Amino acid sequence: MEVLRAEVAGFENCHIVNTGPQIGIREAWRPKAQYVLKREDLAVGRKFDSGIARAAWPMEDHSKPGKPSYHPIGGEGYGLIPIESLSTKTPNLWLAGRTIGADAAAYGSIRVMGTSFATGQAAGVAAALFAQQDEPPQSHEVIAELVAQEALI
């Protein structure tokens, strides 16, 4: 932080708000999304009409030290993450990657890199559409643009 304050313009007054209480914490807090993706959604491989990315990694449970357990995604082996898990009550604030709306079980699936890339692309598309039309885009508009970009949905 001292280097940032001294060497990087705009960081002169930066400070740390929060850190993990110990090494090895997988999650601490997440912003509030319009919809929180749930264990039940992934357990059945739910396909939301507003789905913008796939969640296919098994739900990892690390609640017992040294003894992770894995719970498969139901249905066809993947569920769809709805755009509502990326949107917040603040206009044009989009969540992506490890910060999307998900309960602890679903988080064990969506936190992986491939899914994070996909939600990042979808959040970027939603933000760009918002900038063009000055209002939150509809899910079908985001999906159409992702399809045009050849995203796997």
What local confidence, expressed as pLDDT, does residue 1 receive? 84
User: Are the CB atoms for 29 and 99 separated by under 8 Å?
Assistant: no
pTM score of the predicted model: 0.80
Token pair, residue 137, equals 């885009």
Domain housing 114: 30-148
Token pair, residue 77, equals 């082996």
pLDDT per residue of the chain (153 residues) written in tens, 0 to 9: 889 899 999 989 998 877 665 555 556 667 899 999 999 999 999 999 999 999 999 999 887 878 889 999 999 999 999 999 999 988 889 999 989 999 999 999 999 999 999 999 999 999 999 999 999 999 999 999 999 999 999
The total domain count for the chain is 1
| CA 106, 111, 115, 120 torsion-angle sign | positive
* Domain assignment of residue 14, yes or no: no
- Start-to-end Cα distance in the chain: 39
What local confidence, expressed as pLDDT, does residue 18 receive? 72
* Domain assignment of residue 5, yes or no: no
* Domain assignment of residue 49, yes or no: yes
Name the phi and psi angles at 87, rounded to 5.
-100, 155
